[in-house]
Amino acid sequence: MKKTIVLIFLVLSTFLAYSANVEKQYKKLIENFDVADEAKSVTPVNTAAFWSAALDNNELCAKFIKDLQKNKGAEKEALNKTAQLPRFYPQYDETIVESMQGFCDTLLIDMGIADLGIKCSLHMVYSDEVNAYTALTEDGFAMCITTELASKKGITYEILMGYVAHEFAHGALLHHARGFYAQAKERRKNELLGGIAAGLNGLAAGMEAYNAAAYGIPTSGTDYGAAIANIGNDIKISTLKYSFKYSREQEFEADLFAYRFLEHIGKGEEFINGLRILGTAYDTLYDEYSDHPTTGSRIDFLKYVQLHPELGNKKKAKLKKKRNEPEFEW
């Protein structure tokens, strides 16, 4: 009996520790990626004003655009890779359901997206996959919803709005280019760290050889060549998560924008219902190297958002303060 009680206690302790860690992660995601307070305070229901406030006050996106103006190595790489992505041509794509185009155009009007002046479009495409995605076009981006997803049981007009809002966030927040930029910066950082580590290993090997010759101190027998090779392998593995498929943070950011939009029109719960409809079918689209969050974790995160209305974006204030700080002069 005592053994059973101890095991139950250990399981509960582990669960509580895990829950506390998850809660900490959720709080950080909200503070970094939630829409700005200016968007939350827009008078309902003014959908175009909501999007304008959300996008105009997104400091992370603004910082990325500012970084691009440097036009250096990582910035050039991000732009080049984005330019090489395959383009979607709505006027020639045979998978588009032409009979639903009027419905799609009306949806963008109702969501206020059509009034923003952003070059984007919405289409329904024939597919047996449960999916919604954003594709780059010649002069902007297109949001696509598959017929299989649109025909799922329980789909409502507001749930479709939620899917579109999520995809719109990916496109409007430049997640494609920002993903490539993060990848380029990560690789450069790892190459620098790898060079430093390799140099330190070389120095250590040299010191061992010197001590052995000068003082008779035996060497450790460490295979420094293998150690350096392992550094290289670690570098390769750590950049795999920055594939074209959106990162974990980008998915949560798009979820927050979609949820806040539906919350703005009084239908926040419908986005969570939309995720429930997706179920696990959506998770099969991602491989073992993707850090794309599961549908279940996305639902849990938004439930946490619902329970903590006092939390909000703190990144905007931090970046704004940093930008306004006077530069130090010698």
The reported pLDDT for the residue numbered 279 is: 85
Strand partners, 146: 125
pLDDT digits (tens, 9 = 90+) for 100-146: 999 999 999 999 999 999 999 999 999 998 999 999 999 999 999 99
Domain count, the chain: 1
Residue 190 belongs to some domain of the structure: no
pTM of the model: 0.78
Q: What domain range includes position 171?
A: 36-179+242-322
Q: Quick one: which of 21, 55, 19 has its CA closest to 38?
A: 55
pLDDT tens profile 263-322: 999 999 999 999 999 986 666 655 555 567 899 999 999 999 999 999 999 876 666 555
The mean predicted confidence, pLDDT, of the chain is 81
Residue 2 lies in a domain: no
pLDDT digits (tens, 9 = 90+) for 150-189: 999 999 999 999 999 999 999 999 999 999 999 898 887 7
Instruction: Kindly tell me if the per-residue pLDDT of 251 is higher than 60.
Output: yes
Assess if residue 27 is contained within a domain. Answer: no
- Estimate to the nearest angstrom the gap between the alpha carbon of 20 and the chain centroid: 22
Residue 201 lies in a domain: no
Task: For residues 308 and 300, give the distance between their C-alpha atoms in angstroms, rounded to a whole number.
Answer: 13
Q: Is residue 108 part of a domain?
A: yes
Residue 207 belongs to a domain: no
Instruction: Tell whether 232 is covered by a domain.
Output: no
CA atoms within 13 A on the CB side of 291: 13
- Looking at the domain assignment, is residue 20 inside a domain? no
**What six digits make up the tokens of 281?**
């079918």
- Tell me how far apart the alpha carbons of residues 36 and 25 are, in angstroms, rounded to a whole number: 19
